[in-house]
Structure 1
Amino acid sequence: MTNLALFDLDHTLLPIDSDYEWGEFLVRVGAVDETAFRGRNDAFFAQYQAGVLDPVEYLEFALGTLARFPRAELDALYARYMREVIEPAIRPRALALVREHQEAGDLVAIITATNYHITAPIAARFGVEHHIGAMPEYDGAGQLTGRLLGTPTSGPGKITHMHAWLERLGRPFDSFERSHFYSDSHNDLPLLSIVTHPVATNPSAVLATHAREQGWPTLHLFND
């Protein structure tokens, strides 16, 4: 593997935000109090879009919500969420883009700020073995505690976690001839700025402007 291909998830490979939509799903099925939960969920989502989100504060909210449910109930809810929300959102062009890098022999990973419990099944659906997300803490019985392990996988944290993952594989970042990163968000500018081939994918207005200024290619996966 001489090349590295990294993908953000929400609004990059998926046309939705999987974390936000998980919250909306919990409201819809009556698993959480609508007024209290939606108010906080919407506020955090607006902060993310504005680039001012405190990732630790948000992850403690999200993981605390997950920890309310016994593990068997949570797994059943998530299986339903995958069927009803994620599967209909998956687009052939996104699957094909990932597969193109895999067939080229690239080392492929999804790296997302969303927590690992939510996104691991989505990465598996895309056929991606390597997946980096914010890591929840589990107790000895496999129940989520509601706490975050380590640092968030957002902004500069994506670089930190990427380097740690590659070191575990014995493949440091500078050993790759080409490195690609596909992202929609200006929050990912730190990682986009260090790869050899950044691609603004379904970009936000801020990222689209930055990409034009830097001469980066722009890709739209959800126009069909």
Structure 2
Amino acid sequence: MSAEQPITVLIVDDHPVVREGLCAMLEAAPGLRVAGTAGSGEEAVVRAAALDPDVILMDLRMGETDGATATARILRHSRRPKVVVLTTYEDDADILRAVESGAAGYLLKGTSRADLIDAVRAAARGETVLSPAVAGRLFRARSQEQQQTPLSGRECEVLRLVGRGLTNADIGRELHIGEATVKTHLLRVFKKLQVSDRTAAVLAAIERGLLD
């Protein structure tokens, strides 16, 4: 990026004070410009489409649409933004979900100002950005994932129909099973894929090649 073309950044966090602090920090750095902010995952999807930033700093746990789900939805429509998760959480499952959603990096909010700015610039260049502690956890999380029981044939059938937009009742009629049974299959899928909603489950299964 040249001085005439600063790296544009979208800041996503559900805490106004955090957004304001990050804005001040990044605006003071040469070659960076805050294109906008968002206070929720849903707003992040809308603002990313409207602003087309180079880099998105994405909070992870935010209300109904979390950072991993928002990241997957954003990157489904555009590969331009590089999403860097910036969170206080370093749980193995959180890290794995963020990376599998397409995030280019995962940093903790204890990261220094200099390291954060370097990470934004590195992400804009197309590099993967992981703090050392997170990199180790990601390796462990991927190892554990490989040992997980794969989805059953019926669970894959249910998930394919979810991907087509069918409700639990519709799926039950399609597969000739009860709606409660459909819900049970989905709960098992959520647990195996370490996700919390239907959209994230479909995306995770597709990314892992489970629905091919």
After TM superposition, is the score higher than 0.5?
no
Task: Specify which structure has the bigger relative contact order, considering alpha-carbon pairs within 8 angstroms and separated by 6 or more residues.
Answer: 1
Max radius of gyration: which structure?
2
TM-score, length-scaled by structure 1: 0.29
Structure in which a larger fraction of residues adopt strand? 1
TM-score, length-scaled by structure 2: 0.30
